[in-house]
Copies of this chain bind each other. A is one copy, B any other.
Amino acid sequence: MDRAVLVAALTNAATRLRIDSVRSTSEAGSGHPTTCCSAADLVAALFFAEMRFDPKDPHHPGSDRFVLSKGHAAPLLYAAWAESGAFPREEVLHLRELTSDLEGHPTPRLPFVDVATGSLGQGICAAVGSALNARRIKSDYRTYCLLGDGESAEGSVWEAAEIAAQDGLDNLCGITDVNGLGQSRATMWKHDLAQFARRWAAFGWHTITINGHDLNAVLDAYAEARATKGQPTMIVAGTVKGKGISFTEGKDGWHGKALKKGEELDKALAELNGQMVAAGNGIDLAAQIAKPTARPATPPAPKPVEPPAYTLGEQVATREAYGTALAKLGAADERVVALDADVKNSTFSDRFEKAFPERFYQNFIAEQVMVGSAMGLAARGAIPFPSTFAAFLTRAADFVRMMAISGVGVKLAGSHAGVSIGEDGPSQMALEDLGMFRAQPNIAVLYPSDGVSAEKLVAAMAYHPGPAYMRTSRPKTPVIYANDETFPIGGLKVLRQSGADVVTVVGAGVTVFEALKAHDELKAAGLQTRVIDLYSLAPIDKAGLIAAGRATQGRIITVEDHYPAGGIGDAVSEAVSEAGIKVERIAVREIPRSGKPEELLERYGISASHIVAAVKALK
């Protein structure tokens, strides 16, 4: 198509995107129309003259991806997909209604959304994962990501910048919509485009600075990005917030505000309609969208995972079993990838790296991009296992939240849980991770106690639908299960029981062994206890716990290497609450210190001796 004609057609497309953004938000009575207006030209050119995709098959594995990191511009995204023919235009008028998937911020309830956005600075991390995925599946699809200027203050953006450059992701193109206005005031750099370009260039990106409303410049920038080899490209686009509507253009105070239906909306629509150009009329840009060139090969069906090979009583840390299992899983299923944040020799994910270096992604010490890029990988068909110290997964807590909203199958593992890590001290001890992951309603939370259960659960979590988390421990613990034992997610193991049990003691991970020690000691004193290994906290075996509690005088004691809130005690308590079973929680109740693991278990009240005392104190 002639460039002048194309630009005219894109001008009209962009104007329609503005119109739909304004109409839909006014109809909803809330939303961010002015944020949409600043980026409309950038998005129109991307969707209708650059990206290769099939509007009727947004999940096509070879199609270019678009991640709206500035998720509050959702109406613009919806308008663009409607304009492309993915769904009828008038549906945008149901924006933000309970019965519509066109939510206030995009979620993967919509087929054309890979990951939920709306918490700023996250989309670019997912875009890194999407770009890595193209390389993984040997596809030439490209990934585009639209960021806001205000959003660029988020540290996660610079984690993504670093990793994308480090990995030479020339299939990734970012666009920063520099409209100069944040929510509550002018942004840090207003329209000083050079500030943005300087930062991205320093981080190793090719940068292009343009007027984001000059469609010729926008088209040229996309072409230049596509031609750039060896490094990702950031297009820094100067724009005007509220562009196209005289009374919102560049005005503060219009962030997140819909135009009032009636005079205000009518005036805006009249102005926008007046911006249609005759030369662009009658051109069906949607029909001319380039389709994906090739469908990447379907990966081979997964093979059975090699079973564990331990002997009973053998000493192995669950973190080490995790590494072993991950390598075995990688051999069985080529969709499995692993991500690290420079602790692979502590989490034992280095065993996977040794076997499958091309499927191992190093994020250095940057947990947010590690989890965010895993989200992008998972959304595009990989089975990613990011792992680090469980304590440092809290660094990515907001990503975990958005992962849950996205429902993507990221399989996280956190090692070095609890005071049992010993001398490194509280900064390295995860004592709130179980609560963090249990909080989300759709994350499987697993906590194996020995090598066999750890290995079996790694395979189980890989094929469990949606996100999952495994907590592993630093100290070696004895293998207590046979290699052919099964560990369904949502189950538990009763390790000790008798007809005379006075209480059920529920542990997981290292505290299983404290409970077993306490059992033996109490038995010698004439008190029988039932001992449960609660290796699956979510989903949880409610029936099994209620049955155990009922069989043991309606009493359960939980013991965990974790703070009380949100952990094992709370999980058990909620599961058995309807049955009126009494739950006593033994947990870490103060900020711990450095010390030897066994000293700390004792000092912070979660060792066998404390279980013994609690059982003896029962009335």
CB < 8 Å: which of B158, B159, B199, B574 contacts A573?
B574
Residues A203-248 near B (CB distance < 8 A): 203
**Docked CA distance A30–B564 (Å):** 29
Asked whether, in the complex, the Cβ of B566 is within 8 Å of the Cβ of A566, the reply is: yes
Asked whether, in the complex, the Cβ of A157 is within 8 Å of the Cβ of B155, the reply is: yes
Asked whether, in the complex, the Cβ of B153 is within 8 Å of the Cβ of A362, the reply is: no
Asked whether, in the complex, the Cβ of A600 is within 8 Å of the Cβ of B98, the reply is: yes
Whether A571 contacts B565 in the complex (CB less than 8 A), given A97-B595, A342-B150, comes out as yes
Whether A423 contacts B155 in the complex (CB less than 8 A), given A441-B589, A594-B104, comes out as no
Is A577 located at the chain interface by the 8 A CB criterion? yes
Is A105 located at the chain interface by the 8 A CB criterion? yes
CB < 8 Å: which of B365, B405, B424 contacts A120?
B365
**Docked CA distance A548–B427 (Å):** 39
Residues A484-523 near B (CB distance < 8 A): none
CB < 8 Å: which of B98, B155, B426, B593 contacts A368?
B155
Chain B residues with Cβ under 8 A from A431's Cβ?
Answer: 439
CB distance from A337 to the nearest CB of B (A): 17
**Docked CA distance A594–B28 (Å):** 11
Is A570 located at the chain interface by the 8 A CB criterion? yes
Mark the stretch among A55-63, A138-146, A578-586 that contacts chain B: A578-586
Asked whether, in the complex, the Cβ of B566 is within 8 Å of the Cβ of A574, the reply is: no
Whether A365 contacts B182 in the complex (CB less than 8 A), given A105-B427, A158-B155, comes out as yes
Asked whether, in the complex, the Cβ of A595 is within 8 Å of the Cβ of B402, the reply is: no
Chain B residues with Cβ under 8 A from A428's Cβ?
Answer: 104-105, 118
Is A202 located at the chain interface by the 8 A CB criterion? yes
Mark the stretch among A10-18, A343-351, A374-382 that contacts chain B: A343-351
Asked whether, in the complex, the Cβ of A345 is within 8 Å of the Cβ of B573, the reply is: no
Is A117 located at the chain interface by the 8 A CB criterion? yes
CB < 8 Å: which of B109, B159, B595, B596 contacts A155?
B159
Is A44 located at the chain interface by the 8 A CB criterion? no
CB distance from A351 to the nearest CB of B (A): 12
Chain B residues with Cβ under 8 A from A121's Cβ?
Answer: 155, 365
> Max chain B CB contacts within 10 Å: which of A182, A394, A596?
A394
Asked whether, in the complex, the Cβ of B594 is within 8 Å of the Cβ of A98, the reply is: yes
- Nearest residue, chain B, Cβ from A595: B98
Is A315 located at the chain interface by the 8 A CB criterion? no
Asked whether, in the complex, the Cβ of B440 is within 8 Å of the Cβ of A432, the reply is: yes
- Nearest residue, chain B, Cβ from A185: B342
Asked whether, in the complex, the Cβ of A436 is within 8 Å of the Cβ of B397, the reply is: yes
Chain A interfacial residues counted at CB < 8 A: 112
Chain B residues with Cβ under 8 A from A600's Cβ?
Answer: 98
Interface string of A86-112 (1 = CB under 8 A from B): 000000000011101001110101000
Is A126 located at the chain interface by the 8 A CB criterion? no
Is A266 located at the chain interface by the 8 A CB criterion? no
**Docked CA distance A108–B84 (Å):** 58
> Max chain B CB contacts within 10 Å: which of A159, A346, A369, A425?
A425
Is A533 located at the chain interface by the 8 A CB criterion? no
**Docked CA distance A585–B566 (Å):** 14
Chain B residues with Cβ under 8 A from A9's Cβ?
Answer: none
Asked whether, in the complex, the Cβ of A118 is within 8 Å of the Cβ of B397, the reply is: no
Chain B residues with Cβ under 8 A from A155's Cβ?
Answer: 121, 154-159, 366, 368-369
Asked whether, in the complex, the Cβ of B570 is within 8 Å of the Cβ of A424, the reply is: no
**Docked CA distance A398–B566 (Å):** 16
Asked whether, in the complex, the Cβ of B71 is within 8 Å of the Cβ of A427, the reply is: yes
CB distance from A203 to the nearest CB of B (A): 7
CB distance from A538 to the nearest CB of B (A): 8
Asked whether, in the complex, the Cβ of A574 is within 8 Å of the Cβ of B564, the reply is: yes
Asked whether, in the complex, the Cβ of B150 is within 8 Å of the Cβ of A364, the reply is: yes
Chain B residues with Cβ under 8 A from A594's Cβ?
Answer: 96-98, 100, 103-104
Is A198 located at the chain interface by the 8 A CB criterion? yes
Chain B residues with Cβ under 8 A from A343's Cβ?
Answer: 183-184
Asked whether, in the complex, the Cβ of A424 is within 8 Å of the Cβ of B30, the reply is: yes
Is A609 located at the chain interface by the 8 A CB criterion? no
**Docked CA distance A361–B442 (Å):** 37
Whether A570 contacts B566 in the complex (CB less than 8 A), given A153-B366, A424-B105, A427-B71, comes out as yes
Whether A350 contacts B203 in the complex (CB less than 8 A), given A118-B428, A439-B565, comes out as no
Chain B residues with Cβ under 8 A from A277's Cβ?
Answer: none
**Docked CA distance A342–B441 (Å):** 29
- Nearest residue, chain B, Cβ from A402: B427
Whether A184 contacts B342 in the complex (CB less than 8 A), given A71-B427, A96-B595, A432-B401, comes out as yes
CB < 8 Å: which of B71, B109, B591, B596 contacts A442?
B591
Is A187 located at the chain interface by the 8 A CB criterion? yes
Chain B residues with Cβ under 8 A from A346's Cβ?
Answer: 183-184
On A, residues with C-beta under 8 Å from B are 28-31, 71, 96-98, 100, 103-105, 107, 109, 116-121, 150-151, 153-159, 162, 166, 182-185, 187-188, 198-199, 201-203, 340, 342-346, 350, 362-369, 391-392, 394-395, 397-398, 400-402, 404-405, 407, 422-428, 431-432, 435-436, 438-442, 563-566, 569-571, 573-574, 577-578, 580, 582-585, 588-591, 593-596, 599-600, 603
16 contacts between A and B (CB under 8 A): A31-B423, A96-B425, A103-B594, A105-B428, A118-B424, A154-B365, A184-B350, A188-B364, A202-B203, A391-B401, A392-B398, A395-B397, A435-B436, A435-B439, A439-B563, A577-B585
By Cβ-Cβ distance, the 6 closest A-B pairs, closest first, are A155-B155, A118-B427, A566-B566, A98-B595, A397-B397, A202-B202
Q: A29-B423, A441-B563, A574-B585 are in contact. List 8 more A-B contacts (CB 8 A).
A: A30-B424, A104-B423, A104-B428, A151-B365, A162-B188, A405-B426, A438-B565, A573-B583
